[in-house]
Amino acid sequence: MPGLDFDPLTGQHGIAGTSYRLQLGIINSKWAVRLIKGKETKATKVFNDGDLLEDIPTPQSIVSWTLSVIVIPDINSFQIRKTAQLLHTEAKVNKDKIKIIAPIKEANKINLDPVSNSNLKIQKQIGWVVQDDHTESTKVKKAESLGLESFTCVLCGVQIHYCPNCGTEFGKNDL
């Protein structure tokens, strides 16, 4: 049954004496068991009877289906029975992990109200805006336009000999 969405609830447990593995899970809200050999799923059985949360397939039904599918003559059904019992007990423990999906008919459409820009909290940039114009010619033009022989700090009045952005030294030839 390729194309079915199998949601596993147990691990893949091997049948002793064979290269087959069994796994119990859910397909379309129904219990399912699949027979695996290597990386390929050989067969899948969906159990249509019973409630999903209450009726885990019995080990007897898993054994009878497995015996009808496996084509090994004189296979020991006791080995299949041990694997089926292990799957059954693991499914009892993991049945709380079942994802029940609501049908699309029951889903409601929700209309969202638009939010005005005044209600949005927009983070504003605080600080200086720095331009990356640090070529030699722009430094000379800025100094000549200001009429300064050296740069001085606006806050403390100290002469600046190095560019605070790129670290180049201001010399007498630059000014």
Residue type, 60: Q
Domain ranges in the chain? 7-102, 133-175
Query: pLDDT-derived band of residue 35, with 50, 70 and 90 as boundaries?
Result: very high
Q: What is the pLDDT of residues 3-17, one digit of tens each?
A: 568 888 899 999 988
Top-level CATH class of 7-102? alpha beta
State pLDDT tens for residues 155-167.
Answer: 666 676 666 666 6
Strands 13-14 and 7-8: unpaired
